[in-house]
Amino acid sequence: MFLFSDYHTHPQAHRLQPYSAELLQPWVDSARVKGLRDIAFTDHDRYHAGVDFDAITRLREANPDVQIRAGIELDNDPETGAAGRAWVEKYWDRLDFVLGSVHYLDRPEQMFDSVPAGAAQFEGKLIDAIYADYFRRVREVAASGLVDCLSHLDLVKIHGHRPDASIAILVGETLDLIQARGLAIELSTAGWRKPVNEQYPAVEIVRLAQARGIPFTVASDAHSHAQLGENYPKLTAVLASLGITEVATYSRHARQLHSL
Ligand SMILES: [Zn+2]
Ligand SMILES: [Zn+2]
């Protein structure tokens, strides 16, 4: 089994860097070295001004051996979210793939997944209540009609907080909605470089998604081209142990399933 795609990458990382050959070509070079033949650029929607579809077109022409998808990671940032949603609506037909994410809980000025500062948002709180609130926000993103796939579905565990309630009860309604809307879920290696030290989502959630027939993408959430496909051997082992034999790719929001 070989994972040939990476559907969560951030060429701009955490600042506005307009798309150009200089910025993007190293990502394609890195993909090629790692045997990845299908990658999606999914910068944070707050940096949508840096996304240049014509630069992506030129990159495709220069690299016909690698599928390069135009994407975005749309999140629930209370400050930039509305502009991000408007941008996704405007460019929907030029985008191949949109990730939906929840990075914000009650504090509008701080992502809860910033490490380590975001852990303070969990102090003195009931973890079950935070999980319930987090998944309610995921459902809002899933129901927006503007996403193809949910990223890091159980990101709320990032600092290592675990609920008392069963995860099946906490996540069930969210998975039902994802299934009903025909969306995919990302299997991400990013959790292995965070305090929780576990892939997203947890095995139990993946099993519940499998039971509902929800398809999966695979991803690293790379913020540097060196991180593309990071920890894929570990992720391959997880997929194999769960009997997952297909991954999804997207072209203009149309999903294709590939046997591994
Ligand atoms: Zn994210
Ligand atoms: Zn991301």
Task: Report CA(73)–ligand 1 centroid distance (Å).
Answer: 7
Q: Can you tell me the distance from the alpha carbon of 57 to that of 60, in angstroms, rounded to the nearest whole number?
A: 5
Distance from the alpha carbon of residue 103 to the mean position of ligand 1, in angstroms = 6
Looking up tokens 């504090």 gives: 107
pLDDT, tens digit, 9 for 90 and up, residues 138-157: 999 999 999 999 999 999 99
Q: What does CATH list as the number for 5-259?
A: 3.20.20.140
**Residue 152 alpha carbon to ligand 2 centre in Å:** 8
**pLDDT per residue as tens digits for the range 15-40:** 999 999 999 999 999 999 999 999 99
Which two structure tokens, joined as six digits, stand for 221? 């959430």
Indicate which ligand has the atom closest to the C-alpha of 200.
1
Q: How many angstroms does the Cα of residue 75 sit away from the middle of ligand 2?
A: 9
Q: Where are the domains of the chain?
A: 5-259
The answer, as to whether pTM is greater than 0.75, is yes
- Measured torsion, CA atoms of residues 193, 194, 195, 201, in degrees rounded to the nearest 10: -110
Tokens of 108: 């509008």
DSSP H helices, 34-73, are 53-62
Tell me the sheet residues that pair with 149. Answer: 99, 184
Tens digit of each residue's pLDDT (9 = 90 or more) over 195-228? 999 999 999 999 999 999 999 999 999 999 999 9
Do 96 and 253 touch, CB atoms closer than 8 A? yes
pLDDT in tens, 173-198: 999 999 999 999 999 999 999 999 99
Q: Which residues contact 241 (CB under 8 A, 6 or more apart)?
A: none
Hey, is 22 helix, strand or coil?
Answer: helix
CB within 5 A of ion ligand 2: which residues?
Answer: 73, 221
Residue 84 tokens read as: 């991000």
What mean pLDDT do residues 103-115 have?
Answer: 96
pLDDT band at residue 104 using 50, 70 and 90 as cut-offs? very high
What confidence score (pLDDT) does residue 162 get? 96
Token pair belonging to 215: 């398809």
In angstroms, the CA 10 to CA 222 distance is 6
pLDDT tens digit string along 51-91?
999 999 999 999 999 999 999 999 999 999 999 999 999 99
